[in-house]
Amino acid sequence: MERKTPLHDAHEAAGGRMVGFAGWHMPLTYGSELAEHRAVREDAGMFDVSHMAIVDFEGARAKDFLRKLYANDIARLSTPGAAQYGVMLNPEGGIKDDLISYFRGPERYRTVVNAGTRDADIAWMRKIAADFDVSVNERNDLAMIAVQGPKARERAAAVLPEALKGGALELKPFTASERGDWLVARTGYTGEDGWEIMLPADRAAAFWDNLVEVGIQPAGLAARDSLRLEAGLNLYGNDMDETTHPWESNLGWTVALDPTERDFIGRQAIEKARDASDKKRLVGLVLKDRGVIRHGQTVNTSAGEGIVTSGGFAPTLDRSIALARVPEAAASDPEATVSMRKRELPVAIVKPPFVRRGKIRVNLD
Amino acid sequence: MSDIPKDRQYTDTHEWLRELDDGSIELGITDHAQESLGDLVFVELPEVGSEVASGEECVVVESTKAASDVFSPLDGEVAAVNEALEDQPELVNQSPWEEGWLLRIRPANGMPEDLMDADAYAAQLESEG
C-alpha cells in the first residue's frame, strides 16, 4: 500500500499523473514536465515534498548526538534558524543519506531526510540516540511544500500567515524562520531561489490552493529531477548510496574533519578512503551531439571506465547532461565518450552545477 | 482521452498508419503513446530512401523519461520524414495525429493486414485500463 501525502487529493484534482516513488503515490507531472521545469527557472513553481521525513531531536546532549551522527559539524550552527547540508555515514564511510539540519535551540534540532531512506534513517538515529538520551520525533503531523523560482518568494509571501511574512522575506540563504508549527527555510533542490515551507498537515491543502491562486505552478517529480540535475545536486540512491563515500560523491565539502578529535560515525573509514590510490570522482557531462544520456550507461575515459549515475535532458541547456563517477585521473580531462544504445558519443567533462539561478554555468561549445 | 481518428488504422503497439493519396503510408504514434512517453526531447528519424522492414526499429523517440523504439509495421522504403521534429520534437506531444507524424513509407506490399480500426483500438485502450 503506497503512502499518500496530505496533498494527494489536490494532485489528483489538478490532473497529476500519479506514480509510485519510494513507497509514496506522487505526481510525476501535471501535464508537461518541460513546462513545469521552465516555470521554476523563469517564474515560480512548487513541489509537494511531504514524502520526505521531518525529524525533531531534543535533549541536553542533542548537539553531542548530532556531532556523532553527521559528517558535517552541527556545532557550526549557533543561531536559531541556521541550516546546514550534510551526510550521515555508515561505519564503513558509505553515505546513509544526505540531509538538511536546522538549529532551533541549544538542545533542539530538526533534520529533513529523503523519502526512500526515511524508515531506515529513523531506526538508525534512534539506535545512536539511545546513548545520548535524545528524543527522536518523526513529525508526521507536518507537511512540506517547496516553492522555487525567481518569483517564488515574492508570490508565496502574499499568502503566508501574517506573523511569518516579514521574517520570511528577510531570510538569508540557508536560514529559517519559525512560528508555531510553521517553518520557512530559504533552501531548495532546484538551483533557484525559494523557500521550503513546513506546516501543519491539516493546513496543507488550503495553503497549496492559495499558492496556486497567486500564480505558482505545481510541478511534479519529473521536473524536480531535471531541475536538480541541472543544478548539479545529487540524488540519493543514484549519485550516492551506502557503497560510495563523500569524496567520490562531490560532497567532500560537507565533511568537517576539524576538529580532529570529533569522532563521527564513518570518520576512520573515509580518512582511509581519502588516501586510497584507486579514487573516483563525480563529474558533470555535457553531450555534444543530439540524444539523451541515461543512468547506468558506461563512460569511456583516458583512465578507464566510469558510469553515469544520473542522466537526462536539460531543458535550460537544450542538451543532455549527466553526473558520472569516473576514475580520478580522468576527472580533469576535457572530454570522454558515453556508450549509448548502439553509439558512442563524445561528451565534455565539466564541473557542476550546469545551471544556477537561471544562468547556464558550463561552456557549451 | 482525445477522440481517435477514424481515417486511419492502428497497431497494438500504439502506432497509427494512414494511406495518403500518393500511395505512401504515413506513420505516427497515438495520443495514448505520446501521453505515456511524456514530453519528447529528441526524435531520431531514418534517412529518406532507406529500407524499413516490418517489426524492425525505424524511429527512436526519446522523452524526458526514456528512449523508445518505434517499430515499422510494414516493409518498404522511406519516402519522407517529418523534418520539423528535429527542432520541435514537442509536435509529437502537441499534435500526435497531424503535425507530429513521423515518416512516410512507400510500401513494398501494400497496407499490412493485421491492423485495427479506430473502434478496435479504442477497445484495446479500454482493456489496458
**Domain CATH for B103:** 2.40.50.100
Pairwise CA distance, residues B81 & A191, whole Å: 38
Q: What angle do CA A322, A111, A169 make, to 5 degrees?
A: 85
Taking a C-beta distance cutoff of 8 angstroms, is the pair B46, B81 a contact?
yes
**C-alpha triplet A127, A133, A134: angle, nearest 5°:** 80
Opening angle at CA A206, ends A203 and A211, nearest 5:
115
| Mean pLDDT of the A25-52 span | 98
Q: Do the beta carbons of residue B110 and residue B90 sit within 8 Å?
A: no
Residue type, B8: R
Residues in chain B: 129
pLDDT band at B2 (very low <50, low <70, confident <90, very high): low
Check residue A10 and give its pLDDT: 97
ipTM over 0.90: no
CB spacing of A33 vs B38 below 8 angstroms: yes
pLDDT attached to residue A7: 98
Stretch B47-67: mean pLDDT: 95
Domains contained in chain B, number? 1
In chain A, what are the domains?
8-49+140-230 (3.30.1360.120), 277-360 (2.40.30.110)
Three cell numbers written together for A343: 553509439
pLDDT band at A277 (very low <50, low <70, confident <90, very high): confident
- Asked if B42 and A226 come within 8 Å (Cβ–Cβ), the reply is no
DSSP percent split of chain B into helix, strand, coil, nearest 5: 20, 35, 45
Is B53 a domain residue? yes
Cβ-in-10-Å burial (0-12, 13-18, 19+) of A345 comes to middle
Percent of chain B with pLDDT strictly greater than 90: 91
**Grid cell in block for residue A43:** 517564474
Cα A344 from Cα A275, distance rounded (Å): 33
Q: Is the dihedral of CA A340, A346, A350, A356 positive or negative?
A: negative
* pLDDT the model gives residue A140: 97
The mean pLDDT value for A104-115 works out to: 97
Measured between CA atoms, the residue of chain B closest to residue A310 is B65
Cell numbers at A1, concatenated: 500500500
Q: Whole domain around residue B16: which residue ranges?
A: 9-109
Q: Is B38 on the interface with A (CB under 8 A)?
A: yes
DSSP letter at A215?
T
- CA B108 to chain A, closest CA, distance in angstroms equals 27
Residues of chain A contacting B41 with CB distance shorter than 8 Å: 34, 292, 313, 315
Across the interface, do A32 and B93 touch by the CB < 8 Å criterion?
Answer: yes
Q: Confirm or reject contact between B110 and chain A (CB < 8 A).
A: no
Q: What are phi and psi of A276, to 5 degrees?
A: -65, 165
> CB distance from A345 to chain B under 8 Å?
no
* Interior/surface letters B42-53, b for 16+ CB within 10 angstroms, e for the rest: bbbbbeeeeebe
Question: What residues of chain A lie within 8 A of the CB of B65, using their CB?
Answer: 222
Q: Cα(A70)–Cα(A125) distance, rounded to whole angstroms?
A: 10
Residue B28, pLDDT score: 98
Residue B55 CA to its chain's centroid (Å): 13
CA distance A32 to chain B (A): 6
Section A112-118 average pLDDT: 97
> Which of A226, A290, A317 to substitute to test the interface with B, most B CBs within 10 Å?
A290
Q: Are strands A343-350 and A335-340 parallel, antiparallel or unpaired?
A: antiparallel
Residue A28 near chain B (CB below 8 Å): yes
- The answer to whether the Cβ–Cβ distance between B93 and A33 falls below 8 Å is no
CA dist A168 → A89, A182, A200 (Å): 32, 11, 17
Per-residue cell: A247: 569524496
Question: For residues A286 and A295, what is the distance between their CA atoms, to the nearest angstrom?
Answer: 14
Q: Does residue B121 fall inside a structural domain?
A: no
pLDDT in tens, A242-273: 999 999 999 999 999 999 999 999 999 999 99
Locus of grid cell 477522440: B3
At residue A130, the pLDDT reads 96
Averaged pLDDT, B101-128: 94
Average pLDDT for A116-140? 97
Segment among A232-236, A259-263, A341-345 with least mean pLDDT: A341-345
pLDDT score of A299: 98
CA distances from A182 to A147, A157, A178, B102 (A): 15, 13, 6, 51
For range B96-121, the mean pLDDT:
95
Tell me the count of A-B CB pairs closer than 8 A.
Answer: 35
In this structure, the strands spanning A142-148 and A83-89 are: unpaired
Nearest to B4 by CA among B24, B27, B29: B29
CA–CA min distance B92, chain A (Å): 13
Residue A1's pLDDT is 81
DSSP-derived secondary structure letter, A70? B
Mean pLDDT of A177-187: 97
- Give chain A positions within 8 Å (CB) of B93: 32
Q: Which of A222, A290, A341 sits opposite B38 (nearest CB)?
A: A222
Cβ neighbours of residue A234 closer than 8 Å, sequence gap 6 or more: A98, A240, A249, A250, A251, A282, A310, A323
Chain B, 1 to 20: residues with Cβ < 8 Å from chain A are: none
DSSP state of B47: P
% of chain A surpassing 90 pLDDT = 96
pLDDT over 80 (residue A365): no
pLDDT value at residue A312: 97
C-alpha of A299 from chain center: 24
In what helix (H) or strand (E) does residue A10 lie, and over which residues does it extend? helix A8-13
| A332 part of contact set with chain B, CB < 8 Å | no
Separation of CA A63 from chain center: 23
In a domain, B120, yes or no: no
Check: CB of residue A281 under 8 Å from CB of residue A290.
Answer: no
Partner residue facing A34 (CB), from B39, B42, B62:
B39
pLDDT at B12: 92
- For residue B128, tell me if it sits in a domain: no
- Chain B residues in contact with A294 by the CB 8 A cut-off are 66-67
Q: What is the DSSP letter of A85?
A: E
